[in-house]
């Protein structure tokens, strides 16, 4: 390799630049790159120099620059190295997930407006459980706990071809399992649905549930392909297309529901689920192609990497299978309650997933490849710092969000769902269950990140054991509380069990990772205090602004929306003010980043 290229590669490795390409005309456009070229002396990372004729497409993360190469030289330089910053990856995930959650709300709102508290909608949600369980068992366990760490470890050790061989084998195994389970459940649906899932009293409702179940059994196949594609892209630190895929999924369901409802009824929603899952996979294929896909029809079960994936996925699959027991128990109990109870429980749970997906899942998904990378290199100190940063950020975002959900739960449900056939009775059922689900938001958020720390270290046994304890507690509490509290008891049981699981995961991790408990404890107490002050401020604002209105009559939507937005804004300002006075580190980090950006934008540009 030319000395100048070698020096440049060392410089870019030090600057943590992920991917860049040479192609004529070459321009030196980045001050950061110029500085790194002059100053950095880090060890070289792997350089992959290949012949190319303008096939490398211009991408946002690529920088074109002059490096002393002839104008007619078509060599491409690709640096495969350090992970994208967690902040940048999290920002991409959060922005796209916010949009996805907005569309998710619109999806539920459109479905609820057309069907409300009808037996048809209860049948749809019951039918959705079996396809969702197949996807969770076969794909979610392998992807979260096994596939990404193994695939990333091969990339970190510069064995990309072998990584793709493992990925191809795993994808083919997963596809065969998904097809097999779907076929078996299609045959067994008339027996499984009324016995274990939805013991409706109306035979027509049972027949509809079976029909919808069979129709939606295609969706886990496409969802599995989509999730594995997402895992591969995330391992390459590419988050944009994989994060936008759920947008398409929700949009397709909305369109099928809105325009197919007059002709197909509830079947339009089920068809939308299948088509949405298919399109969710297809939209990621162009990005995967840019990664120079090396997919093959291999089924190499004897390869050590494939065996590692299967071995690591086993405990997680058992844990997710046990989690499905909770869903089926809750569904079984809710079906025996008054009509519309299952729909209200589903809508309350989906409301919980809105902030959970925006903050904790986004940060956890973005940090997981980084944790896997550090674990594969044995960099324990960096892993600990990354985990602590993720915990602090998740609590900084989810604690005040939980307070907002508790204080403003009734207007939130009213504004999001109370349209058409979704009336006041459905709203009251949903908001009550939403209150009890909100109590466990912080627990759900912490489980997302803490479990991934174990997975990154290739320890799936510990999370499995703790998940089984949590699930046992959840089932016992659900059966105990449901006769007294109805669906509220089911939501409360879920929150208590999740908080228990988060506590156990953290206690065991604290000693293994040598977490700085004092710093985390002080930070959490400050965040909790600021969140409680925020809740008091919002509650006071609602009480004062409710005086001009008749509390027994719903105000107009516009007035209610204005009141809710202002209450949230007042609470947000109080939270930021309290965080500033308490010197909460996360707020100081935000202020520091903003100031640095402003200085960079207003500062003079050095000449090229």
Q: Are residues 482 and 540 in the same domain?
A: no
Domain that holds residue 32: 3-79
- The residues that bridge with 78 in the sheet, in sequence order, are 48
Given 48, 79, 110, the domain boundary residue is 79
With 50 as the cut, is the pLDDT of residue 466 above it? Answer: yes
Average predicted confidence (pLDDT) for the chain: 77
With 80 as the cut, is the pLDDT of residue 440 above it? Answer: yes
DSSP H or E run through 48: strand 47-51
Whole-number pLDDT of residue 140: 64
Q: Are residues 193 and 318 in the same domain?
A: yes
Q: Provide the pLDDT confidence category of residue 499 given band limits of 50, 70 and 90.
A: very high
Q: Are residues 218 and 290 in the same domain?
A: yes
Q: Are residues 442 and 523 in the same domain?
A: no
pLDDT digits (tens, 9 = 90+) for 305-321: 888 888 877 777 777 77
Q: Are residues 209 and 351 in the same domain?
A: yes
Q: Are residues 109 and 26 in the same domain?
A: no
Whole-number pLDDT of residue 603: 52
Structurally, how many domains does the chain consist of?
3
Q: Are residues 137 and 229 in the same domain?
A: yes
Q: Are residues 484 and 567 in the same domain?
A: no
- Contacting residues for 206 by C-beta, under 8 A, at least 6 apart: 193, 194, 198, 200
What is the mean pLDDT of the segment spanning 461-489?
91
Q: Is the peptide bond before 25 cis (omega within 30 degrees of 0)?
A: yes
What is the mean pLDDT of the segment spanning 17-40?
38
Q: Are residues 338 and 365 in the same domain?
A: yes
With 60 as the cut, is the pLDDT of residue 398 above it? Answer: yes
What is the mean pLDDT of the segment spanning 456-472?
84
pLDDT digits (tens, 9 = 90+) for 159-203: 778 888 888 888 898 889 899 999 999 999 998 888 888 778 788
Q: Are residues 270 and 163 in the same domain?
A: yes
Given 49, 79, 109, the domain boundary residue is 79
Integer Cα distance of 443 and 441 in angstroms: 5
b/e per residue 186-225 (b: at least 16 CB within 10 A): beebbebbbeebbebeeeebbebbbbbbbbbbbbbbbbbb
Q: Are residues 561 and 473 in the same domain?
A: no
Given 486, 515, 544, the domain boundary residue is 515
**Residue of higher predicted confidence among 54 and 564:** 564
> Tokens 């991934």 identify what position?
452
Specify the range with the lowest mean pLDDT, choosing from 176-190, 285-299, 423-437. Answer: 285-299
Q: Are residues 321 and 371 in the same domain?
A: yes
- What's the pTM? 0.69
């Amino acid at each position: 390799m030319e000395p100048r290229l070698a020096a440049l590669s060392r410089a870019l490795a030090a600057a943590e630049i992920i991917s860049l390409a040479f192609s004529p005309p070459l321009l030196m456009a980045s001050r950061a790159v110029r500085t790194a070229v002059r100053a950095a002396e880090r060890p070289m990372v792997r350089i992959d120099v290949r012949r190319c004729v303008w096939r490398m497409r211009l991408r946002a993360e690529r920088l074109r620059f002059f490096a002393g190469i002839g104008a007619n030289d078509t060599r491409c330089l690709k640096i495969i190295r350090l992970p994208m910053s967690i902040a940048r990856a999290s920002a991409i995930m959060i922005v796209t997930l916010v949009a996805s959650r907005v569309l998710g709300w619109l999806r539920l709102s459109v479905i609820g407006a057309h069907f409300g508290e009808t037996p048809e909608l209860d049948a749809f949600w019951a039918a959705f459980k079996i396809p969702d369980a197949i996807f969770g068992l076969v794909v979610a366990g392998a992807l979260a706990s096994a596939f990404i760490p193994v695939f990333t470890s091969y990339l970190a050790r510069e064995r990309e071809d072998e990584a793709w061989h493992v990925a191809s084998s795993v994808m083919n195994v997963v596809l065969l399992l998904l097809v097999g389970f779907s076929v078996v459940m299609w045959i067994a649906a008339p027996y499984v649905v009324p016995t274990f899932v939805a013991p409706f009293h109306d035979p027509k409702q049972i027949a509809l549930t079976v029909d919808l179940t069979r129709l939606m059994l295609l969706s886990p196949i496409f969802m599995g392909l989509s999730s594995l594609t997402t895992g591969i892209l995330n391992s390459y630190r590419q988050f944009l297309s994989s994060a936008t895929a759920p947008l398409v999924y929700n949009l397709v369901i909305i369109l099928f529901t809105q325009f197919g409802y007059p002709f197909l009824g509830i079947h339009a929603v089920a068809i939308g689920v299948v088509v949405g899952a298919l399109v969710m996979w297809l939209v990621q294929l162009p990005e995967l192609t840019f990664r120079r896909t090396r997919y093959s029809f291999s089924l190499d079960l004897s390869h050590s990497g494939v065996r590692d994936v299967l071995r690591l996925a086993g405990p997680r699959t058992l844990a997710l299978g046990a989690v499905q027991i909770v869903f089926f128990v809750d569904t079984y109990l809710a079906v025996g309650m008054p009509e519309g109870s299952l729909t209200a429980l589903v809508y309350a749970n989906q409301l919980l997933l809105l902030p959970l997906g925006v903050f904790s899942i986004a940060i956890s998904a973005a940090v997981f490849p980084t944790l896997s990378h550090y674990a594969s290199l044995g960099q324990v100190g960096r892993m600990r710092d990354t985990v602590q940063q993720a915990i602090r950020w998740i609590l900084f975002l989810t604690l005040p969000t939980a307070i907002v959900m508790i204080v403003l739960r009734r207007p939130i449900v009213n504004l999001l769902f109370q349209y058409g056939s979704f009336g006041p009775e459905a709203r009251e059922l949903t908001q009550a269950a939403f209150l009890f689900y909100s109590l466990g938001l912080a627990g759900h958020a912490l489980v997302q990140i803490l479990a991934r720390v174990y997975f990154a270290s290739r320890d799936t046994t510990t999370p499995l054991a703790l998940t089984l304890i949590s699930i046992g507690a959840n089932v016992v509490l659900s059966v105990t509380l449901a006769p007294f509290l109805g669906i509220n008891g089911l939501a409360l049981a879920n929150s208590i069990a999740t908080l228990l699981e988060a506590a156990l995961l953290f206690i065991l991790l604290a000693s293994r990772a040598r977490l700085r408990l004092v710093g985390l404890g002080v930070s959490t107490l400050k965040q909790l205090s600021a969140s409680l002050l925020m809740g008091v401020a919002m509650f006071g604002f609602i009480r004062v602004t409710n005086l001009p209105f008749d509390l027994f009559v719903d105000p107009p939507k516009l007035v209610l929306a204005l009141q809710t937005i202002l209450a949230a804004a007042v609470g947000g300002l109080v939270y930021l003010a309290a965080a500033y006075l308490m010197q909460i580190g996360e707020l100081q980090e935000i202020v520091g980043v903003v100031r640095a950006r402003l200085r960079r934008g207003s500062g003079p540009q050095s000449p090229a």
